C-alpha cells in the first residue's frame, strides 16, 4: 500500500517536472533571439539619433522612400510620385492597403505630420524644408510638396537610410513636440512592438505584423519587399561580450549584431556559427578638430595633421585583421557614387617632415593638444593612443586625457578653452550610411555655431553644401562633392581614418540576412527554434 | 525591546539623509551629461541644451536637490531619464531576480560554510582544516567574474548541463527558475563561503576550549551534540555578524554577477544607470541598498538577543 502511494506520488512529481520543463505551446512559433549592439531604452527615433533607436524604428515603422544597395532612392510606402516640369512640385500617392498597427489606414495627413516632425530635428530634413513652400494634402492617399526653388534633396532626404530616418507615424503621434519623446509605438512597419513584454535591460520583443503588405520585388538595403519570415524577434540585452558569445555558442541566442574583433577567432572555430559581413560600407573612423581654440583655430596647423596621420596605423590598432578594414582616402566613403580621392594626394601618408614644416610656417608655439581618449568602447579605445603617437612624431605636443565615452560625449559639447574643461580633438566612428553626401555628413557642416561640436566656420564649405543641396544633375553633384573634399583639405573640419567592418555572428540555422547599413530582420529565416 | 527597535528605526532617518546628500553630490560631481547621452552622436549643441532644459538639469544644483528630496519625502523616487518610467516601477520590475539570487546565494553559502567551518575547527590542524582554509583563501582571492566565466565554460559550454545566461521568473516555471540560478548563486556564494567559514572556524575554536564544552564532553554527550548544541550556539554571535556583513558584500557582488550572467536585476540596473548618468535611478537604487543594509544590521542586532540571553536592549 505504502509502495503504491509512493509510486503514485513519484509519478505525479515526475509528470509535474516534465510539464515544467516542456516548452510552452506559444514558444513553438519561430523566435529569433538577437543580441544587438546596445539595449533599447528610448523609443523615439526622431528625438534621438542613437543607432539602436533607429534600428527599432525600422522594425515598427515604414518610410516613404528607401535607398537600395546602389544608392538609388526607391518608393517604399509611396506607390507613385511625380515631379512637375518646373521641378517645384512633388506629388506622392500612397500604396493601397497601408494600415497602422491599430488597424487604421495610413493617410496623407499622417505622412505630412511625420515629415514635419522629422524635419524639425534632422539636419538634412532642415536643409530640405528650407526649400519647401508648403505641404498640401490632396486627398487621404496623396499629398504634394511645393518648393520655393528646385532642389535635388527631396527624395534623398525622404529616403535617407540612417539617423534620423524619416519614419512615418500616425498624425496624433507625429504632432508631438519634436523635443518631447513619444511613447506611442503604433507604426505601419513589418513588426509590431510588444510594449507589454518590453523590459529595458532584459529584452525587447517584436512580433510579425500580420497586416503588413510588402512591396513587390526583392529586398535591397532598406528598399524592396520587406517579407517577414519569423513570428517573433527578441532583442536580448547581454552587455558582456564574452557572455553573449558563450550564449551564441551554446545556442541560447541566434545572432550577435556586433561581436568584438578580438573574439572573432573563438566564433570562427565553431562549426555551428558563421560570420557574415552585412554592412558592406561599414564605418569610418574620424578625427574631429575643435576649431575654436588655439592652435587648431589656425587652418594651417590643422593641415599638418593631414600629413602626420596615416590610416593603416589606426585600423591595425583597433581592428587588426585586414579582412575587416579598408584604407580609403575618399571622404564620402569608398564604394559609393561620390567616391573620389581628389585633393588627397600626399595626405594621410605620415609625412612627418611636411607636418613639422607646416607647423613652423603656422607659428605653432607648442600648445599641448588636449586629445580626448575614450577607454570603454573596444571599437574606439585604441584610436587616441595612435593619434597621440603620430601627432607627436609630426611635431605636436599632446595631452591625452582618458575617460569613458559618456564623459567624452558630455565634454565635446563644451566650448570652454581646453585648459578649462574643453578640448582640442577626439576620435569617433561614423556609420558610412550617415556620411554619403555633403548634406548628410554632419562633420562637413561648417556653419559656425550651427555646426556640430568642433564648430568649424567656413563660408566656402557652406556655399558648396548649399550648391549641392540645389543641384539635381548627378555629374555636377559629384563635382561639388569633390570640390568640397578639396576645400576640407585646406580648411580641415575632420580627418577620415579609414573604413572598418564588423561581421555579424549567426547560428547556421539562420539565413536570409539582408546586406544593409542597418541591421534589419525582414527576409530572415530560422530553421528549428 | 520595542523602544529599542523604534529608536533604531528613527536613527535610520539621518543616515538615509546623509546617504541622499552624498549620492546626489557624487553624481553631480561625476563628469558626464545625461542630456548629451540621450541626444545621440549626431545631435547639435542646441539639441543637447533643449534636452537638458527638459530634464531640469539647467537649474542650480541646490534647487535640483530640493526638488528631488521633496519628491522622495512624498514617496516619489522620480522618473528615469532614459526609460521614461517611474523609478519605483523600474525597481519593482528588477527586484525579483536580485532577491532570488541573493536568497539562493545566502542559503547556499550559510548551509555549506557553517558546517565546513565547524568541521575545520573540530578537526583543527588536520587535512580537513587545511583544505577548508585553503578553499577559503582561494575564495577570497579569485575575482567573482573569473569564477563566473570558469563555471560557465565548464558547466554551460563544455558539459552543456546548465544555461549560460539569463533569468526566468518563478511564475514562468520553477525548473527554469532554479536552473538559471545555480551558476550565478555558486559564483556569488564562493566569496561569502570563504568569509563565513573562516569566522565560524575561529569562533567555534574559541568555544571548543571553554569550560562548558569540557563539561558537556565529561557528561558523555556525543560530539555532534557537543558541537551543535554547546559549541556552535555559543559561537553564533560573530557568525551572525559576519553573515550580516556578507549581505553587504552580496550587494556589490550582484552587480558583477548579474552582468556576467545577463540577469536583469537591480545590479544590472545600477550599472546601466551609472553608465548612462541616469541620476534618478542611481539615486533611488543606492537609497534602497542603503535602507536594506540598515535594516539587515538591525535584524542582526536583534538576533543577538535570541542567541545570547545575556544581551538585552
Which pLDDT score is estimated for A19?
Answer: 41
Q: Is the pLDDT of residue A529 over 70?
A: no
Q: Coil, helix or strand for A506?
A: strand
Residue whose entry in the numeric block shows the C-alpha cell 510620385: A81
Residue numbers in B near A242 (CB within 8 A): 149
Bigger pLDDT: B45 vs A4: B45
| Residues forming beta bridges with residue A499, ordered by sequence position | A284, A326
Q: Does A85 touch chain B (CB under 8 A)?
A: no
Q: What is the pLDDT of residues B224-238, one digit of tens each?
A: 888 888 888 888 888
Cβ separation A410–B32 shorter than 8 A: yes
3-state secondary structure A266-283: HHHCCCCEEEECCCCCCE
Cβ separation B262–A239 shorter than 8 A: yes
Cβ separation B82–A183 shorter than 8 A: no
CA distances (Å), origin A79, targets A73, A214, A349, B201: 13, 12, 49, 79
Q: What is the pLDDT of residues B38-97, one digit of tens each?
A: 776 667 777 788 888 888 888 898 999 999 999 988 888 888 888 778 999 999 989 999
Q: How confident is the model at residue B29 (pLDDT cuts 50, 70, 90)?
A: confident
Q: Does B149 touch chain A (CB under 8 A)?
A: yes
| Residues forming beta bridges with residue B86, ordered by sequence position | B79
Residue numbers in A near B38 (CB within 8 A): 42, 48
Q: Does B159 touch chain A (CB under 8 A)?
A: no
Nearest neighbour of B39 by CB, restricted to A48, A404, A411: A48
Nearest neighbour of B264 by CB, restricted to A202, A413, A451: A202
Lookup: cell for B123 = 578537526
- SS percent in chain A: helix, strand, coil, step 5: 35, 20, 45
Residue A294 in contact with residue A342, Cβ under 8 Å? no
Task: Give contacts of B 65-104 with A, CB under 8 A.
Answer: 82-85, 90, 93-94
Lookup: cell for A156 = 534623398
Q: Determine the residue of chain A that is closest to B162 in CA distance.
A: A250
Q: Does B162 touch chain A (CB under 8 A)?
A: no
Q: Which whole number is the average pLDDT over A324-352?
A: 96
What percentage of chain A has pLDDT greater than the value 70? Answer: 95
Nearest neighbour of A238 by CB, restricted to B33, B175, B262: B262
Residue B145 in contact with residue A242, Cβ under 8 Å? no
Q: How confident is the model at residue A15 (pLDDT cuts 50, 70, 90)?
A: very low
Cβ separation A247–B165 shorter than 8 A: yes
Q: What is the pLDDT of residues A60-105, one digit of tens each?
A: 999 999 999 988 999 999 999 999 999 999 999 999 999 999 999 9
DSSP string for residues in chain B: -HHHHHHHHHHHHHHHHHHHHHHHHHHHHSS--HHHHHH-TT--HHHHHHHHHHHTTTS-HHHHHHHHHHHHHTT---B-TTT-SBHHHHHHHHHHHHHHHHHHHHHHHHHHHHHHHHHHHHTTTSHHHHHHHHHHHHHHHS-HHHHHHHHIIIIIIIS--S-SS----GGG-HHHHHHHHHHHHHHHHHHHHHHHHHHHHHHHHHHHTSHHHHHHHHTT--HHHIIIIIIIHHHHHHHHHHHHHHHHHHHHHHHHHHHHTT--SHHHHHHHHHHTT-HHHHHHHHHHHHHHHHHHHHHHHHHHHHH-TT---
Residue numbers in B near A204 (CB within 8 A): none
By DSSP bridging, strand A510-511 and strand A89-94 are unpaired
Q: Does A49 touch chain B (CB under 8 A)?
A: yes
According to DSSP, residue A166 is labeled: -
Cβ separation A201–B175 shorter than 8 A: no
Residue numbers in B near A181 (CB within 8 A): 84
The gap from C-alpha A358 to its chain's centroid, in whole angstroms, comes to 36
Lookup: cell for B112 = 555549506
Return d(Cα A236, Cα A253) in angstroms, integer. 8
The gap from C-alpha A361 to its chain's centroid, in whole angstroms, comes to 39
Q: What is the pTM of this model?
A: 0.83
Residue numbers in B near A17 (CB within 8 A): 175
Which pLDDT score is estimated for A25?
Answer: 41
Q: What is the pLDDT of residues B143-175, one digit of tens each?
A: 988 999 999 999 999 999 999 999 999 999 999
Return d(Cα A179, Cα A411) in angstroms, integer. 22
Residue numbers in B near A413 (CB within 8 A): 33, 36, 45, 48
ipTM beyond cut 0.85: no
Cβ separation B160–A406 shorter than 8 A: no
Amino acid at each position: 500500500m505504502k509502495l503504491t502511494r509512493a509510486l503514485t506520488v513519484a509519478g505525479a512529481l515526475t509528470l509535474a517536472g516534465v510539464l515544467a520543463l516542456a516548452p510552452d505551446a506559444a514558444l513553438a512559433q519561430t523566435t529569433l533571439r538577437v543580441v544587438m549592439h546596445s539595449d533599447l531604452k528610448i523609443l523615439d527615433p526622431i528625438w534621438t539619433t542613437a543607432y539602436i533607436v533607429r534600428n527599432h524604428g525600422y522594425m515598427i515603422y515604414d518610410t516613404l522612400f528607401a535607398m537600395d544597395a546602389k544608392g538609388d532612392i526607391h518608393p517604399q510606402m509611396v506607390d507613385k510620385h511625380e515631379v512637375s516640369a518646373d521641378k517645384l512640385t512633388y506629388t506622392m500617392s500612397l500604396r493601397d492597403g497601408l494600415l497602422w498597427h491599430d488597424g487604421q489606414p495610413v493617410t496623407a495627413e499622417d505622412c505630412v505630420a511625420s515629415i514635419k516632425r522629422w524635419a524639425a530635428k534632422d539636419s538634412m530634413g532642415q536643409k530640405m524644408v528650407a526649400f519647401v513652400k508648403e505641404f498640401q494634402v490632396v486627398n487621404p492617399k496623396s499629398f504634394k510638396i511645393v518648393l520655393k526653388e528646385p532642389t535635388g534633396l527631396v527624395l534623398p532626404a525622404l529616403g535617407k537610410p540612417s539617423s534620423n530616418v524619416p519614419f512615418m507615424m500616425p498624425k496624433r503621434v507625429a504632432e508631438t513636440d519634436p523635443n518631447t519623446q513619444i511613447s506611442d509605438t503604433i507604426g505601419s512597419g513589418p513588426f509590431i512592438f510588444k510594449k507589454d513584454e518590453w523590459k529595458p535591460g532584459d529584452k525587447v520583443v517584436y512580433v510579425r505584423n500580420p497586416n503588413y503588405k510588402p512591396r513587390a520585388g526583392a529586398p535591397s538595403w532598406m528598399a524592396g519587399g520587406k517579407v517577414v519570415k519569423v513570428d517573433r524577434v527578441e532583442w536580448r540585452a547581454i552587455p558582456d561580450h564574452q557572455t553573449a558569445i558563450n550564449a551564441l555558442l551554446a545556442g541560447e541566442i541566434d545572432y550577435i549584431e556586433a561581436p568584438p574583433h578580438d573574439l572573432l577567432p573563438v566564433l570562427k572555430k565553431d562549426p555551428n556559427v558563421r560570420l557574415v559581413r552585412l554592412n558592406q560600407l561599414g564605418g569610418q573612423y574620424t578625427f574631429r578638430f575643435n576649431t575654436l581654440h588655439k592652435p587648431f583655430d589656425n587652418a594651417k596647423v590643422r593641415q599638418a595633421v593631414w600629413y602626420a596621420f596615416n590610416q593603416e596605423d589606426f585600423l591595425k590598432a583597433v581592428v587588426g585583421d585586414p579582412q575587416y578594414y579598408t584604407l580609403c582616402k575618399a571622404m564620402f566613403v569608398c564604394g559609393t557614387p561620390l567616391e573620389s580621392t581628389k585633393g588627397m594626394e600626399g595626405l594621410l601618408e605620415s609625412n612627418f617632415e611636411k607636418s613639422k614644416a607646416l607647423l613652423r610656417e603656422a607659428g605653432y608655439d607648442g600648445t599641448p593638444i588636449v586629445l580626448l581618449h575614450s577607454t570603454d568602447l573596444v571599437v574606439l579605445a585604441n584610436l587616441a593612443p595612435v593619434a597621440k603617437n603620430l601627432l607627436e612624431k609630426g611635431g605636436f605636443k599632446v595631452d591625452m586625457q582618458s575617460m569613458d565615452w559618456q564623459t567624452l560625449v558630455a565634454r565635446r559639447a563644451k566650448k570652454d578653452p581646453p585648459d578649462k574643461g574643453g578640448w582640442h580633438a577626439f576620435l569617433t566612428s561614423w556609420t558610412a550610411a550617415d556620411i554619403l553626401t555633403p548634406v548628410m555628413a554632419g562633420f562637413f557642416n561648417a556653419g559656425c555655431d550651427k555646426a556640430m561640436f568642433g564648430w568649424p566656420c567656413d563660408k566656402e564649405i557652406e556655399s558648396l553644401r548649399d550648391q549641392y543641396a540645389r543641384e539635381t544633375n548627378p555629374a555636377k553633384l559629384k563635382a561639388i562633392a569633390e570640390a568640397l573634399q578639396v576645400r576640407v583639405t585646406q580648411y580641415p573640419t575632420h580627418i577620415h581614418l579609414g573604413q572598418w567592418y564588423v561581421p555579424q555572428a549567426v547560428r547556421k540555422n539562420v539565413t536570409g540576412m539582408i546586406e544593409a547599413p542597418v541591421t534589419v530582420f525582414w527576409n530572415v529565416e530560422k530553421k528549428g527554434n | 525591546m520595542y523602544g529599542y527597535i523604534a529608536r533604531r528605526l528613527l536613527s535610520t532617518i539621518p543616515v538615509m539623509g546623509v546617504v541622499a546628500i552624498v549620492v546626489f553630490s557624487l553624481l553631480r560631481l561625476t563628469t558626464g551629461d545625461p542630456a548629451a547621452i540621450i541626444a545621440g552622436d549626431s545631435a547639435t549643441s542646441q539639441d543637447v541644451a533643449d534636452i537638458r532644459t527638459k530634464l531640469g538639469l539647467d537649474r542650480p544644483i541646490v534647487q535640483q536637490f530640493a526638488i528631488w528630496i521633496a519628491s522622495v519625502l512624498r514617496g516619489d523616487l522620480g522618473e528615469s531619464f532614459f526609460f521614461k518610467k517611474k523609478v519605483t516601477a523600474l525597481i519593482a520590475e528588477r527586484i525579483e531576480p536580485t532577491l532570488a539570487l541573493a536568497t539562493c546565494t545566502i542559503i547556499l553559502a550559510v548551509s555549506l560554510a557553517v558546517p565546513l567551518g565547524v568541521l575545520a575547527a573540530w578537526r583543527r590542524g588536520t587535512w580537513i582544516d587545511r583544505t577548508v582554509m585553503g578553499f577559503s583563501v582561494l575564495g577570497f582571492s579569485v575575482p567573482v567574474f573569473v569564477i563566473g566565466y570558469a563555471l560557465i565554460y565548464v558547466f554551460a559550454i563544455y558539459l552543456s548541463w546548465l544555461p549560460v545566461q539569463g533569468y526566468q521568473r518563478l511564475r514562468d516555471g520553477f525548473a527554469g527558475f532554479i536552473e538559471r540560478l545555480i551558476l550565478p548563486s555558486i559564483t556569488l556564494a564562493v566569496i561569502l563561503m570563504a568569509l563565513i567559514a573562516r569566522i565560524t572556524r575561529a569562533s567555534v575554536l574559541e568555544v571548543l576550549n571553554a569550560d562548558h564544552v569540557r563539561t558537556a564532553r565529561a557528561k558523555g554527550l556525543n560530539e555532534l551534540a557537543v558541537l551543535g548544541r554547546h559549541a556552535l550556539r555559543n559561537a553564533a554571535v560573530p557568525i551572525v555578524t559576519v553573515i550580516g556583513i556578507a549581505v553587504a558584500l552580496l550587494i556589490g557582488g550582484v552587480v558583477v554577477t548579474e552582468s556576467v550572467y545577463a540577469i536583469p536585476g537591480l545590479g544590472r540596473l545600477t550599472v546601466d544607470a551609472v553608465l548612462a548618468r541616469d541620476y534618478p535611478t542611481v539615486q533611488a537604487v543606492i537609497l534602497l541598498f542603503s535602507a536594506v543594509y540598515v535594516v539587515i544590521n538591525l535584524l542582526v542586532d536583534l538576533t543577538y538577543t535570541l542567541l545570547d540571553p545575556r544581551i538585552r536592549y
